[in-house]
Structure 1
Amino acid sequence: MKKLIIAIAVLVLAGCSTPREPQLTIAPSPASSNQQQVNNLPVVVKSKDLRTAQFVAVIDSGRSNVKPLHASQNLRVVLEDTLSRQLSSQGFRVVANGPGVLRLDILDALVRVKHTVFKHDMEASVQLQLVAESPEGRFVKRYTGKSTQSGVSSASPDDIELALNNLLEAVLQDIADDEQLLDHMKAHF
């Protein structure tokens, strides 16, 4: 009986000590604006994560060995905060309630990594949708980005983080530079 209890304890402890998959730190920087484009215009920022799966990377090592990697923090919260800081740098005043609402929908944010014995290929894709609504009208636009890169040996979690953060920053820069969106917000918020 003692041997059985010891065997069970060893199995339980071995199960607790198995390494976990690393979590990725997704923290893109907001696009910076050299000059304020509006003067203290209030905007409510909201967000929705409409992705079908919550992981941010998939590593395919062949032979049906596919592992998803998750972000260490909630991607929706990170992107909403980053967009809010970006809008503040453009001269908007982010408020809790108001007539003008800018909603960020996350449609896709994923890095696909394929490992072989001697190299890796990474393909990152991001698709964000902005919905600007006010009593005077609605504006909807999608922003997409794709990047690919290859390297010798396997991709590290740092490589995957860098690929996704860089692509998110490029898409956020597209949002900051979008004159159509800015004109709509100026006219209707």
Structure 2
Amino acid sequence: MRKLVLAASMVLLTACAAPQQEQINFMPKAALSSSDLVKGSTFTLSSKDVRASQYVALVDSGRSNIEPIHSKQNVRIAIENALAAQLESQGFRNSLDSDNSVAIEIQETLVSVKHSVMENEMNATVILELTAENSQGKLVKTYTGTAKRTGALSASNEEIAVVLNDVTNLVLTEISNDRELKNYMQERF
């Protein structure tokens, strides 16, 4: 019994001493509207993350070593919360029992980073699919944001986070400004 407790203690101490994987801050900002599109129309918001992998960045240092970096925050929840704030700023009200539904599907949120000691190149892609639906019909739209950034020296995690957040914010702004989506929701919700 004593040997078992000693072995379990060793395993726990080894796990605590293991290096922690690096993570970046993923904090998308809602594109808030200054005027109401509607007054109190309700919607039910749902989200789904269908990305093949859960990391948000792949860092290739050129030494046959590609390192995935994850987000400190849950990507699906962060995007859902930003979208909910956007729609509420337009006058819609999030409800659990509405006949109107808005679903956001996260298809990709990724920054590919290639860097050496002297320079770095970051390519970011964010793809979100939004579905607005009720008994009167359904509208499905895909929003894609891309960016390419180069810089001197190696890319830091903070720089990677800035690129990912900026591209995500651009996609959220595109959703907020989409005239077809606004008209659809205004007429049918």
- TM-score, normalised to structure 1, is 0.90
CA distance, structure 1, for counterparts of residue 111 and residue 180 of structure 2 = 29
Contact 2:126–2:146 (CA under 8 A) maintained in structure 1: yes
Q: Does 1:68 align with 2:71?
A: no
1:70-124 per-position Cα deviation (integer Å, ceiling 9, x unaligned): 1112110111111001111111101112111000000110001001121110011
Give 4+ residue runs of structure 1 displaced > 6 Å after superposition: 9-12
Q: Does 1:167 align with 2:167?
A: yes
CA distance, structure 2, for counterparts of residue 135 and residue 175 of structure 1 = 22
Structure 2 partner of 1:117? 117
Structure 2 partner of 1:52? 52
Q: Does 1:86 align with 2:89?
A: no
Q: Secondary structure at the match of 1:47?
A: strand
Structure 1 partner of 2:6? none
Question: RMSD value over aligned CA atoms?
Answer: 1.8
> By how many angstroms is 1:188 displaced?
1.8
Question: What stretches of structure 1 of length at least 5 have no aligned partner?
Answer: 1-8
Structure 2 partner of 1:102? 102
Aligned-residue sequence identity (percent) comes to: 38
Q: Secondary structure at the match of 2:86?
A: helix
CA distance, structure 1, for counterparts of residue 10 and residue 29 of structure 2 = 46
Question: What stretches of structure 2 of length at least 5 have no aligned partner?
Answer: 1-8
Specify whether residues 99 and 53 from structure 1 end up closer, same or farther in structure 2 by C-alpha distance, changes over 3 A only. same
> By how many angstroms is 1:157 displaced?
0.8
CA distance, structure 2, for counterparts of residue 11 and residue 174 of structure 1 = 49
Q: Secondary structure at the match of 1:132?
A: strand
The range that moved more, 13-22 or 85-94, is 13-22
CA distance, structure 1, for counterparts of residue 163 and residue 138 of structure 2 = 33
Q: Secondary structure at the match of 1:70?
A: strand
Q: Secondary structure at the match of 2:23?
A: coil
> By how many angstroms is 1:13 displaced?
5.2
CA distance, structure 1, for counterparts of residue 82 and residue 149 of structure 2 = 25
Contact 2:44–2:95 (CA under 8 A) maintained in structure 1: yes
Structure 2 partner of 1:32? 32
CA distance, structure 1, for counterparts of residue 146 and residue 167 of structure 2 = 7
CA distance, structure 2, for counterparts of residue 70 and residue 132 of structure 1 = 29
Q: Secondary structure at the match of 1:185?
A: helix
AA of the residue aligned to 2:33? S
> By how many angstroms is 1:12 displaced?
7.8
The range that moved more, 168-177 or 17-26, is 17-26
> By how many angstroms is 1:18 displaced?
3.8
- Structure 1 segment 14-25 matched on structure 2, within 5 A: 16-25=16-25
Specify whether residues 97 and 112 from structure 1 end up closer, same or farther in structure 2 by C-alpha distance, changes over 3 A only. same
AA of the residue aligned to 1:86? Q
The range that moved more, 110-119 or 9-18, is 9-18
Specify whether residues 136 and 63 from structure 1 end up closer, same or farther in structure 2 by C-alpha distance, changes over 3 A only. same
CA distance, structure 2, for counterparts of residue 185 and residue 62 of structure 1 = 48
Structure 1 partner of 2:186? 186
Q: Secondary structure at the match of 1:29?
A: coil
